[in-house]
Structure 1
Amino acid sequence: MRLVVAECSVDYAGRLSAHLDPARRVLMLKADGSVLVHADGGSYKPLNWMSPPCSLAVEEPDEDVAATGVREVWRVTHGKTGDVLVIRIHELIVDEQVELGIDPGLVKDGVEADLQRLLAEQIELLGDGHSLVRREYMTAIGPVDILARDAGGVSVAVEIKRRGDIDGVEQLTRYLELMNRDPHLAPVSGVFAAQEIKPQARTLAEDRGIRCLVLDYDAMRGVEVGPARLF
């Protein structure tokens, strides 16, 4: 990973346009090809980013741009959509290359791990005719919880959460984008499964053609939950 702290301005052009005036920011250039622009606030979310596949070209600024104090122009172009992220570097403060090595992946908490195991054992909850291919199907950016096939033999990628929010939908979207490039898997449909799915996450998932599935943890474990009694 390359970590850069720089005084920079940022412009994004594509399905939407966005502009960030010059300020000190952290630029992350990850081994998977993604480029992220972070500020010292806003929690973990970047101000702007470009997902892989994308390419980075470093250009010399023209005279007019150089006159505004710009030293370098980074042009990040998405390989499929043609969207462009332009980062104009006014001052490089830190520029470090860090080797992170292979990440062992996220270890899910007990409930999520149980949900994954139970859904794999009860794969028919996805629908009649579904069959399990494998759990923890590895992609270049991490493992998909479950890979299955529907009654027609179409690949189905399932992401499982305790509470389904927008970040989980975004995670599954990235998996689907990669998996649909594999001719041995494509086409791959998506299922977002959770004990509880937030309305915003459901709206985003359905807009992207991802099916939502609410999981009843107690029912999957065979636990009967009757009406509350005093004794």
Structure 2
Amino acid sequence: MRVVFANCSVEYSGRLDAHLDRGARLLMVKADGSVLVHSDGGSYKPLNWMIPPCTLRVREPNEDELAIGAQEVWEVSQKKTDDELVIRIFEIIGDYTHQLGMEPGLVKDGVEAHLQKLLAEQVDRLGEGVSLVRREFPTPIGPVDLMVRDGEGGHIAVEIKRRGDIDGVEQLTRYLDLLGRDPLLTPLRGVFAAQEIKPQARTLAEDRGIECVILDYDEMRGLDHPEDRLF
């Protein structure tokens, strides 16, 4: 990655035209070819950018550009469209290049695997007398997250999501249809558990006799302390 602190102006043309007057900015050139223009504000969002596939060409300023003090000009062209980003640099304050190497990827805290493990250890949240049968209980179309036995000898198939939407309810419905054909699992019901469940998904689940359960990830990890709350 190359990062350049520069006094520059920016022109963008293509699907829309945009202009940034001369000012101090951070220019980022990433290994994938993308070019981003940042200011000291606006959180993570750049003022302007060009995504790959694109090409960056650095040229000498023409007479008009020399007259206004430009030292060099970056022309970034999008290969699939006519979009072009022109950055006129008047002063380079700092220019640094560093190879970051392969990105191992973002591991999100509170992903479904973590929620599944926690709920497997705390299945009593699903009702009194509930016990775990198995995580990743197999079906012909893939495993349901948890299979548990309720206090009355029946079974509960539990599907776990970070954000519960209609697709998750449909997925659990298919599991229930297949699992319900096994007489050893009847009576069988479903629970749709998530940190957040969209209203449409809740309506569909309840219409199909599926119970919805909201999971508080911090509280399940023991990080939530009710005595510290103001309300």
Shorter-chain TM band: 0.5 to 0.7
CA RMSD of aligned residues (A): 3.5
Which residue number corresponds to residue 56 of structure 1?
A: 56
Aligned to 1:36: 36
Matched, 1:91 2:103: no
Q: 1:70, 1:88 within 8 Å by CA — same for their partners in 2?
A: yes
Partner-residue secondary structure (3-state), 2:64:
helix
Structure 1 residue 215 displacement after superposition: 6.1
How much has 1:223 moved relative to structure 2? 7.4
Cα gap change, 1:46 to 1:224, in 2 (>3 Å): same
Identity %: 61
Aligned CA distance change for structure 1 residues 114 and 74 (closer, same or farther; 3 Å): same
Decide whether aligned partners of structure 1 residues 96 and 225 sit closer, same or farther in structure 2, where only a CA change above 3 A counts. Answer: closer
* Contact kept in structure 1, 2:164 and 2:201, CA below 8 Å: no
Q: 2:181: which partner in 1?
A: none
Any stretches of 5+ residues in structure 1 without a counterpart? Answer: 122-130, 133-159, 165-193, 198-213, 227-231
Residues 154-201 of structure 1, C-alpha deviations (whole Å, 9 max, x = no match): xxxxxx97499xxxxxxxxxxxxxxxxxxxxxxxxxxxxx9568xxxx
Q: Which amino acid aligns with 1:93?
A: I
The answer to whether the 8 A contact 1:10-1:85 is kept is yes
Residue 115 of structure 1, CA deviation: 8.8
Give structure 1 regions of 4+ aligned residues with deviation exceeding 6 angstroms: none
Name which one, 1 or 2, has greater alpha-carbon Rg. Answer: 2
Q: How far apart, CA to CA, are the structure 2 residues paired with 1:21 and 1:38? A: 13
Tell me, in whole angstroms, the C-alpha distance in 2 between the residues paired with 1:58 and 1:107: 37
User: Are the structure 2 counterparts of residues 63 and 26 from structure 1 closer, same or farther at C-alpha, using a change threshold of 3 Å?
Assistant: same
Q: Distance in 2 between matches of 1:10 and 1:82?
A: 17
Normalised to the residue count of structure 2, the TM-score between the two structures is: 0.52
Residue 113 of structure 1: how far off its partner (Å)? 4.8
Question: In the alignment, is the contact (CA less than 8 A) between 2:110 and 2:162 conserved in 1?
Answer: no
Amino acid at match of 1:61: P
> Given that residues 38 and 45 in structure 1 are in contact (C-alpha distance below 8 angstroms), is that contact kept between their aligned partners in structure 2?
yes
| TM-score where L is the length of structure 1 | 0.52
CA distance in 1, matches of 2:162, 2:78: 29
Aligned counterparts of 1:2 and 1:43: Cα–Cα separation in 2: 20
Provide the rounded CA distance (Å) in 2 between the counterparts of 1:23 and 1:65.
16
C-alpha displacement of 1:63: 1.0
C-alpha distance 65-106 of structure 1, shift in aligned 2 (>3 A) = same
Aligned length: 139
- For 1:44 and 1:163, locate their aligned partners in 2 and report how far apart those are by CA, in whole Å: 27
Letter in 2 for 1:103: E
- Aligned equivalent of 1:224: 211
